[in-house]
Chains A and B, each alone.
Chain A
Amino acid sequence: MKSTAPLPSLETQPATRLSELAVGERGKVTGFDAASYDPGRLLEMGVTQGATIEAVRVAPLGDPIDFKVRGYHLSLRRREATAIYIERL
């Protein structure tokens, strides 16, 4: 089974980060910036490679962001969302 690529290949285009998704946009998870933190817990919460993730709303103070993934709502802080790479759908 293929392992999770920790970083996307930089030769293609600069990877989109989850924090860049606008409200209502959806993306597919492509990788994690493992240098920031341990992605294990995110994986267990269902944010796995290839999972669809949608930005639903932003908190009134600008942070955190509420995402929908695997049918449930998960809120992440902006700086945490920055460490997740996605491909816009």
Chain B
Amino acid sequence: MSSVQSPQSVRHIAIAGNPNCGKSTLFNALTGLRQKVGNYPGVTVERKVGRFHGSHGEPMALLDLPGSYSLQVRSPDEAVSRDVLLGRQPDTPRPEALIAVVDASNLERNLYLVAQLLDLQLPTILALNMIDVAEQNGIRIDVEGLSRELGIPVIPMIASKGVGLVELKQALSRATLSAPAIRPPMPEAMENEALELARKLNVPEEVAFPEAVLLLTLGNEALATLAENDPGTITETVAAQGRLREQGVEPLSTLIEARYAWIGDLCARVVKRLGGENAALSVSDRLDRYLTHRYWGWAAFIGAMALMFVCIFYVAQGPMDWIDAGIAASQDWVQNTLPEGEVRDLLSDGAIAGVGGVVMFLPQILILFFFLGLLEDSGYMARAAFLMDRVMSSVGLHGKSFIPLLSSVACAIPGIMATRTIENEKDRLATILVAPLMSCSARIPVYSLMIAVLLPASSAWAKAAIAISMYALGTFTAFGMAWLFKKTLLKGETPMLLLELPPYRLPSMRSVITRMLERGGIFVRRAGTVILALSILLWALASYPKPSQADADEGLALANSYAGRLGHLIEPTIAPLGYDWKIGIGLIASFAAREAFVGTMGIVYNVEGEVDEDATPLQETMRKEVHADGTPVYTPLVCIGLMVFYVLAMQCISTVAIVRRETNSWRWPLFQIAYMTALAWAGAFIVYQGGRLLGFQ
């Protein structure tokens, strides 16, 4: 397959490799911010395409295939990689050339995927990445020898520093880039059966052989699933497998062992370990002595997590205040500049407020993504999963679920986007479904307000104790629901841990920042549109029908609006929780964002001036608020019940939008809203009614 290309056409290149081999760093180094991220149709796998220019300036499109250990599929990610490479993915053309990225300090295992890639007979270049780490660990690789053994060009690289990029582009642009000169050896019996099977397959000729090989190595379960669609092919495959077994050749294991034998041999020839097999402990090993140590490991872990939170809560505060001021300023400008009327109000109170709602999240989200990027690229993320796996697997989750859940204590949005690293689909879904239960920072204003109403004079300790109980409730519920989901809805075999602890490395700032901006952009584009639309809707509900002068004077504007009517409408359903229709309005407004509760209640109770959770006028007003019969509305039980409601309820359209994006369907976000609303109602009910039964107020 020669690669003559016309000057104008874009060449489609794919980049493949194991997880942790620096593939993303290389992708980012080549394409910078010229990336487009979406989803493959029908699956939750992300599709990332970027553009760059070859060394003659020719345009190239680079498809970042999900990290895989093998083309023999065990996760949706690997399925996509395989499908794209075999030209089975309908909307993605089969790549014309392949960059196979390997971690030089871990060559043997990385070459396993490469052996499978060579079978595809696509023009391939090996990016021998992280040679600096390899050299530090005393590993010397004979690059020319490796190139000869594999039959493809090999480019030594340090993607995080940009070393080797020029040579890589040159190799890609070379007209002589062609299919690999070598095919990894295979037991003869298998090769014959594969060739036979290939002839009978109904696929394009250039992929027939690799397709046949993949079929021959499938287990019975996978074959049974495929048999529904393509019984003829499967019958042939099973027959071929039978013939091989008769000759004492077990298809899957024999092939894998043959490949590793080949890899082992060639590595013995081209890889030299200074200091022999048992070379001195690498830098990573020495670091791990402390970082996974019984005491020091925990200290480091807690320290790292604490640092992350401090940054989010304190460092983000400044930018958030600026954004707040900016929003207020724009709103004022619109009010002062435009003529009075619907459009002006729509713009300032609906649209700008809505946009403000989106942008307010950005400082926290960007900071979290920055930290997550550092953790992942440095290799520490894997250690966190290693430390926490015991706890996570007790509820059926994977150690990798820990950091997404922990991040959700700041904001569920980056937490949910971080679940991308969890390979098992069911584990990933379970984590996404329970992440919003981990009391996020948006709940803090609600907690503060309710605690202040409940205990105006109490010490800070009492207040802190209540707040902490709310966090604990959220966390336990999250783990409990995860356990429940894994046992029922998302039941499946618990997959093997298979966690790799990659060598520690200095993260590439450029790559971390690129990814941070990319994720932030996804949030703004995906969630932004949904939030804006809903904010405008909520504004309309609260502003229409337009109040009469009498109503406006008495502060009844909100009460008689559609939002107010909705509040009355849902009153019967929230009365068992001890709430009235005014609280109902607060709950409705909170559907968009939790912290809206505070501002909304300020409007409902017609409190003058600037209203936030520390505003004593609001607290006073709420404490004095009574029902028609004179009993107070905000009794202790109502306050606590309301807090419990907020712990358990799904009240964030941004999160809904992100869950929709990450799961690529509306089914899961809608289910999430349903189950969490039910939980919240039940929780508040138990607190209120249960408390009353016990004689409390």
Contacts and interface: CB of A to CB of B under 8 A. Distances in A.
Contact of A60 (B292, B497, B499): B292
Given A1-B258, A3-B250, A66-B292, A60 B107 contact: no
Nearest to A72: B106
B386 A3 contact: no
Contact of B107 (A42, A57, A71): A71
A57 B292 contact: yes
Given A44-B256, A48-B256, A60-B297, A74 B499 contact: yes
Contacts of B260: 46, 48, 51
A8 to B, nearest CB: 15
A37 B257 contact: no
Interface residues of A, number: 35
Given A70-B108, A72-B106, A77-B393, A41 B496 contact: yes
Contacts of B219: 38, 40
B263 to A, nearest CB: 9
For chain B, what secondary structure do more than half of its interface residues adopt (helix, strand, loop), or is it mixed? helix
Given A46-B108, A71-B107, A64 B499 contact: yes
B288 interface: yes
Q: Select the residue from A44, A56, A64, A80 with max chain B CB neighbours within 10 A.
A: A44
Q: Select the residue from A57, A71, A76 with max chain B CB neighbours within 10 A.
A: A71
B298 A60 contact: yes
A4 interface: yes
A40 B72 contact: yes
Nearest to A3: B250
A71 B496 contact: no
Given A44-B70, A48-B260, A61-B390, A3 B253 contact: yes
Contacts of A2: 248
A25 interface: no
A59 B389 contact: yes
Contacts of A80: 496-497
B387 interface: yes
B500 interface: yes
B199 interface: no
B501 A70 contact: no
B477 interface: no
Interface in B494-523: 496-502
A60 B69 contact: no
Contacts of A75: 386, 389, 497-501
Interface of A: 1-4, 37-46, 48-49, 51, 56-57, 59-64, 66, 70-77, 80
Given A1-B254, A63-B389, A71-B106, 15 more contacts: A1-B258, A4-B250, A40-B219, A41-B70, A62-B390, A64-B399, A66-B501, A70-B109, A72-B502, A73-B502, A74-B500, A75-B389, A75-B498, A75-B501, A77-B497
9 contacts: A1-B248, A3-B248, A40-B256, A41-B498, A45-B69, A48-B256, A49-B253, A60-B298, A77-B497
Which 7 interchain pairs have the tightest Cβ spacing?
Answer: A61-B390, A3-B250, A73-B501, A75-B499, A4-B253, A70-B108, A43-B256
Interface of B: 69-70, 72, 74, 105-109, 112, 187, 219, 245, 248-250, 252-254, 256-258, 260, 285, 288, 292-294, 297-298, 386-387, 389-391, 393, 399, 493, 496-502
